[in-house]
Structure 1
Amino acid sequence: MKKSIEAKVKEFLTYLEDIRGYSDLTIKSYDESLKEALLHIEIIQEDKHLLFNLMPYRIKISSLNPKTISKKLSAIRSFVSYLNDNDTAVIVKADESVKIAKTLPKPISHKHILEALSCGEPIERLVVALFYTLGLRISELASLEISNISDEWVRVVGKGNKQRDIPLLAQTKKLLDEYFSISTQKRFVFEKNGEKLSQNSLRYIIIKVFRRVGLKVTPHQLRHSYASQLLNGSAPIADVSELLGHSSMATTQIYTKLGSALKQQNYNTAHPLCGVGEK
């Protein structure tokens, strides 16, 4: 049985090379993953199909990094899909996806944001302030219209054209007024030649202003900073989720994990017994 499957693997690798145009390195990775898997997968011939029971293999690789496991299982799924498309019916058992932990975001400290604000030009200070005090996505800032800004609120059009209202800090409103007094926008807050400023242009502004204080910062990190500051300041997670435009509070919870990680780090640094007995 397995010999015939091994022959199918060779056909699959040829398909990846000749039809899909995969690189030699990628094909080698598929080859190694499938050869390893076939040593442990239980393959059973049933009435009209083959059954691939992955459980023995899942147990074998269970101690590996979740990303590595996911990659190995992905190779098997691709192979099974190829077989099903080429007259070899296969049903897979124990193929549940592996949950890969999200990388914790890295917010920028309030101190460093203030440093960047202090040395920026008017447009740079405003871009930084809007990201940091409104928690916007870069697409939302690029599309932000002047008509959606009042003295105390900003109406943002987010994903799926969903609208949300975000409180406007007095300091940010002052920066907006100062910027509008020296600019000629007609519709969008940031324009160039009558068109809204591109996301790349806004991204470059952030990179440039923080480079002056020796940091490499992305717009999304400022959104992370906004969320983290609110949650660390005891704002209800439901409110923060709504302000960020998240469709689910589960997405917002990653910031609470970040807060816990920072508290642990600070605790380890501050408590006199931390490190006692270590060499």
Structure 2
Amino acid sequence: MTTIQEAVDRYLRHVTVERGLSPNTVAAYRRDLDLWRGHLEEAGRASPGDVTVADVAAFPVALSTRPERPLGAASVARVLSSVRGLHRFLLEEGLVDTDVAATTRPPKLPSRLPKAISVAQVEALLAATDGDDPARVRDKALLELLYATGARVTEAVSLNVDDVIEGDVVRLFGKGGKQRIVPLGSFARRALDAYLVRARPEFSARGAATPALFLGVRGARLSRQNAWLVIQAAAERAELDIDVSPHTFRHSFATHLLEGGADVRVVQELLGHSSVATTQIYTLVTADALRDMYSQAHPRARRRTPS
């Protein structure tokens, strides 16, 4: 009899080997399915064949009402997505006769638009990395690249030196290993050139040889966590009273391109979105900005109070 844990391990091997998902994505699946396994153990389920539709239906309620750190709707939806993937796989592999999660629907999420910051705020962040210190030179190159390319932070820290092609474009590897080529722009090119000449050799000499583009002060590849800390430090120095994360640069990249007149399908390609529907979320952001501007500027856009 296959146990729940064995079924989970088999599924995670499948998404790693057959689907080529990144280690970060597989780790997220594992965390989600550990929650599911714990829920089933409490219900006394020993194998996948013991699991019922009622078990699946009770799971989101348990996640959202647990005493310690209850999950919000978005987190519950993510965990349920992992559960549905597991049970679909088990049916396809013939380990169960029925997909008990097939009819499960995630909680409805509130509509949330991506958070972008203004061009002036981006410029303030970038200016906050000015300086001749090697770490500042690196930080400038990292932030310029994030804004110039819309790269995810994982894509940025995974770059190797050879992925910067002739200084004009960068080769990014997105979800599922999908490759895309994105232009750098003159500001990012200059910042990268300065980093490669003035800072990276110094960091590289402190550690083992590595092809990584962005290095930490000890010579190892810069981690996602350290990249996040670089951005937080820049936001503090810029005295921005807003939350700024690596994804802020990606959202701002897309929003500013669309505001500048870029075609949505071009932005889709630059962001590495598999569906244009994902990219079209950003058109709602620019539409809101246009609506606000219209309301303020057009003489007959606002209701006037009779005198």
TM-score (norm 1): 0.64
User: Displacement, 1:229?
Assistant: 1.2
For residues 230 and 297 of structure 2, the distance between their equivalents in structure 1, rounded to whole angstroms, comes to 37
**Structure 1 residues 231, 24: closer, same or farther in 2, change over 3 A?**
closer
The residue number in structure 2 matching 1:34 is none
Describe the superposition over 1:101-134 as per-residue Cα deviations: whole angstroms up to 9, x where unpaired. Answer: 5410121111111122223132222121111001
> Are 2:238 and 1:206 equivalent residues in the alignment?
no
> Are 2:205 and 1:181 equivalent residues in the alignment?
no
Unaligned runs of 5+ in 2: 1-38, 44-58, 68-72, 81-99, 130-135, 205-209
**Structure 1 residues 233, 243: closer, same or farther in 2, change over 3 A?**
same
**Structure 1 residues 203, 267: closer, same or farther in 2, change over 3 A?**
same
**Structure 1 residues 27, 236: closer, same or farther in 2, change over 3 A?**
closer
Aligned counterpart in structure 2 of residue 156 of structure 1, from 172, 179, 182: 172
For residues 177 and 272 of structure 2, the distance between their equivalents in structure 1, rounded to whole angstroms, comes to 11
User: Displacement, 1:265?
Assistant: 1.5
User: Displacement, 1:233?
Assistant: 1.5
Unaligned runs of 5+ in 1: 1-15, 29-66, 75-90
**Structure 1 residues 98, 275: closer, same or farther in 2, change over 3 A?**
same
User: Displacement, 1:141?
Assistant: 0.6
Identity of aligned residues (%): 32
The residue number in structure 2 matching 1:243 is 270
Q: Residues 1-279 of structure 1: matches in 2 within 5 Å?
A: 19=42, 26=65, 100-120=109-129, 121-150=136-165, 151-182=167-198, 183-184=200-201, 185=204, 186-192=210-216, 193-215=218-240, 216-277=243-304
User: Displacement, 1:96?
Assistant: 6.7
For residues 24 and 189 of structure 1, the distance between their equivalents in structure 2, rounded to whole angstroms, comes to 40
**Larger strand percent:** 1
For residues 125 and 222 of structure 1, the distance between their equivalents in structure 2, rounded to whole angstroms, comes to 13
Partner amino acid, structure 1, of 2:126 = L
For residues 226 and 289 of structure 2, the distance between their equivalents in structure 1, rounded to whole angstroms, comes to 32
**Structure 1 residues 97, 156: closer, same or farther in 2, change over 3 A?**
closer
Measured on the aligned residues, the alpha-carbon RMSD in Å equals 3.6
Partner amino acid, structure 1, of 2:223 = S
**Any conservation in 1 of the 2:142–2:214 contact (CA below 8 Å)?**
no
TM-score (norm 2): 0.59
For residues 63 and 127 of structure 2, the distance between their equivalents in structure 1, rounded to whole angstroms, comes to 51
For residues 138 and 194 of structure 1, the distance between their equivalents in structure 2, rounded to whole angstroms, comes to 19
For residues 278 and 157 of structure 1, the distance between their equivalents in structure 2, rounded to whole angstroms, comes to 56
Partner amino acid, structure 2, of 1:117 = L
**Structure 1 residues 96, 179: closer, same or farther in 2, change over 3 A?**
closer
**Structure 1 residues 145, 263: closer, same or farther in 2, change over 3 A?**
same
Q: How many residues align?
A: 208
**Structure 1 residues 96, 278: closer, same or farther in 2, change over 3 A?**
farther
**Any conservation in 1 of the 2:170–2:183 contact (CA below 8 Å)?**
yes
For residues 25 and 222 of structure 1, the distance between their equivalents in structure 2, rounded to whole angstroms, comes to 31
